[in-house]
Structure 1
Amino acid sequence: MTNTGELPGWTHIYSGKVRDLYAPTRLLDDDDSWTGDPLHLSPVVLVVASDRVSAFDAVLTPAIPGKGEMLTALTRWWFDQLPEVPNHLAHPLDDRLQALELPEVPAEVAARATLCRTLDMFPIECVVRGFITGGGWKEYHATGAIGGIPLPEGLQNGDRLPEPIYTPAWKAPLGEHDENITYERTVELVGDVVAAQLRELSLEIFARASAIAEARGVILADTKFEFGADRDTGIVTLADEVLTSDSSRFWDAEVYATAATPELRMASFDKQIVRDWLAANWDQDASEEPPTLPHEIVEQTAARYRELIERLTSGA
């Protein structure tokens, strides 16, 4: 998979669909015991968001110009709005980091890079839904419940739920699909104390973020969080990208209230334009390369990303 290339002072250790991870080269070179898993060795990692875009488990071409910078800026903004929630940002003035003499973050990636403390990540994707849509709507339509949580009869696609619900997923190993699970299964995976903390934190952050968004005319329909344990304190810590267009569904509140159809009221500030075009032009055969995105689809998607950031952060 394509990555951002070599960075001075940093060693590339992993590429996901849309992000690349780097560890300080000196820390890897200075440890003769390193056996190939630098995330267990290095106390920090540089997360670089690319402009790549993915849909239906495929990385598409071309990339979305500026996407990496926009999502990084939005994550940083949300962390600033949630100062009471421990997060994985590595602060340069931290005594532990100063002693490491970390390399500079290269200028060419600085706007889309985040220096993070490595955590012991929990294998849980913490999904919170305030509205019924997407996979949740399909599950409700078939069973009357989402994630084993019974819901009132008669809900329509896009309706607000009586209250937000926590519907976790198990983070599958690389190359496999994540699996929706019950809360009871999370207890089996991480223990009852951590499972309760994950649920409580996820619902609290969702409520706080929803209020912030709605004050700016934006609806937070659903989102997903990831957490890990701080390696020094054991504190459950918020990690990964947070409340971005790639991890959440955001809708325009005015459009939601006035649109004539469910499809129009749920027009989201994300890559849904890409998904819709791809669904209409590709049969999702994994043995075939997905088609190249048209220029207008790329431009429309970039515009939606920009609009969300402007709506949320202007005047904040």
Structure 2
Amino acid sequence: MATSIITSVGLKSLPLVAEGKVREIYEASNDTLLLVTSDRISAYDVILENGVQDKGTVLTLLTNHWLNTVLPQHVPALKHHLVSLNIPRALDLSSEQRAILRGRSMIVRKYRVFPIEAIVRGYITGSSWSEYKQKGTVHGMPQPSGLEQCQAFPGGPIYTPSTKAPVGGKDENITPDHARQIVGDKYADKIENLALAIYKAAHGYALEKGIIVADTKFEFGLDEETDEVVLIDEVLTPDSSRFWPAADYVPGRDQKSFDKQYLRDWLTGEGLKGKEGVSMTGDVQARTSAKYLEAFQRLTGESLDQALAKLEN
């Protein structure tokens, strides 16, 4: 089902709380938010001028699949922020606005956000590979000698947090000890342990579907009433993770991917890495969209249209 590419929603009837590279967050009630995922795409911390077909819907419905179908079976103690994919009738929205928001919106509970990205890496690639080649470390932590590019870490996945930069800024890789200083001793271990548990569960599930989750990043919030750490934001999507086709995996080289690595490679090849004001060609848009849709279908076992059909109108 072809839909328009939505790069901005711009609701005027609800208070705008925040706007990120991809999402717009609105006040829905005293204790909930309307989190809308656009079709915008960023690479190397720069937002591209044009978007990717169906991207916002893929990210939203895939997040829902992880939170409500997969993770409860494997990490039963996990608490998350998602309330519903259906927009309350009480919200002051036109039928046209509701049609745009359908499938790309989540009603989520409000929590105080921990100001770090909880990154878990199962394989040495990207910035971790670059650091390792120079220093033999990953996020400042020494690693065994002789590792190959894209090799699985010998001791299993590692927790490699980063700072959470504002829009337009760049996240900074930090050590777990630095993250502990930011979030405090009371919550540091809980965040790390949850991030590792979620990654391991997701890695095992995805591998059965023919996808390697090479690395991913999570965000967590604090339920100040119960003092519980809560998983928030998007989860295990092609935007927040590296997805590799398992059948093509060979360590020692770059991997094929289902995520936006294709876009990163195009930008680098065209000399556009990190530059503002860049628009994708139609071919790059289409191929990026196809990769996102294939990842969705493999991981959920259904097409995007089938997943959308389950939502209330």
**Category of TM-score, reference length = shorter chain:** 0.7 to 0.9
Superposed counterparts of 1:48-127, under 5 Å: 48-80=36-68, 81-83=70-72, 84=76, 85-90=78-83, 106-127=98-119
2:165 to 172, 175, 199: 172
Matched residue SS, 2:53? coil
CA deviation map 1:226-259 (0-9, x unaligned): 00001321210000000000000011111115x9
Where does residue 262 of structure 1 map in the other structure?
253
Superposed counterparts of 1:120-159, under 5 Å: 120-159=112-151
- Cα deviation for residue 210 of structure 1 reads 0.6
| CA distance in structure 1 between the partners assigned to 2:161 and 2:223 by the alignment | 21
* Letter in structure 2 aligned against 1:130: G
1:239 aligns with 2:226: no
Where does residue 292 of structure 2 map in the other structure?
305
Distance 1:214 1:74, change over 3 A: same
1:6 aligns with 2:5: no
- Cα deviation for residue 131 of structure 1 reads 0.4
- Cα deviation for residue 185 of structure 1 reads 1.2
| CA distance in structure 1 between the partners assigned to 2:225 and 2:84 by the alignment | 15
* Letter in structure 2 aligned against 1:19: R
Superposed counterparts of 1:157-306, under 5 Å: 157-162=149-154, 163-257=156-250, 262-263=253-254, 266-284=255-273, 286=275, 289-290=277-278, 292-306=279-293
**Aligned residues of 1:219 and 1:253 also touching (Cα < 8 A):** yes
| CA distance in structure 1 between the partners assigned to 2:247 and 2:183 by the alignment | 41
Identity value in percent: 42
CA deviation map 1:61-114 (0-9, x unaligned): 32101110111111000102112210001259xxxxx9xx66679232021001
| CA distance in structure 2 between the partners assigned to 1:209 and 1:311 by the alignment | 13
**Aligned residues of 2:118 and 2:161 also touching (Cα < 8 A):** yes
- Cα deviation for residue 125 of structure 1 reads 0.5
* TM-score, normalising length: structure 1: 0.84
Gaps of 5+ in 2: 1-6, 303-313
Distance 1:56 1:152, change over 3 A: same
* Letter in structure 2 aligned against 1:122: F
| CA distance in structure 1 between the partners assigned to 2:209 and 2:274 by the alignment | 40
Where does residue 45 of structure 1 map in the other structure?
33
Gaps of 5+ in 1: 28-41, 93-97
Distance 1:285 1:178, change over 3 A: closer
| CA distance in structure 1 between the partners assigned to 2:152 and 2:273 by the alignment | 31
Answer 1 or 2: higher relative contact order, Cα 8 Å, separation at least 6: 2
* Letter in structure 2 aligned against 1:133: T
Matched residue SS, 1:154? coil
Where does residue 309 of structure 2 map in the other structure?
none
Residue correspondences, number: 287
* Letter in structure 1 aligned against 2:9: T
Structure with max Cα Rg: 1
| CA distance in structure 1 between the partners assigned to 2:22 and 2:188 by the alignment | 28
| CA distance in structure 2 between the partners assigned to 1:87 and 1:103 by the alignment | 26
CA deviation map 1:198-243 (0-9, x unaligned): 1100111111111101111111100000000013212100000000
CA deviation map 1:108-165 (0-9, x unaligned): 2021001111110001110100000000000111111112322111111111111110
**Aligned residues of 1:10 and 1:103 also touching (Cα < 8 A):** yes
Give the superposed CA RMSD: 2.4
* Letter in structure 2 aligned against 1:68: G
**Aligned residues of 1:3 and 1:15 also touching (Cα < 8 A):** no
Distance 1:296 1:91, change over 3 A: closer
* Letter in structure 1 aligned against 2:18: Y
Matched residue SS, 1:139? helix
- Cα deviation for residue 308 of structure 1 reads 0.5
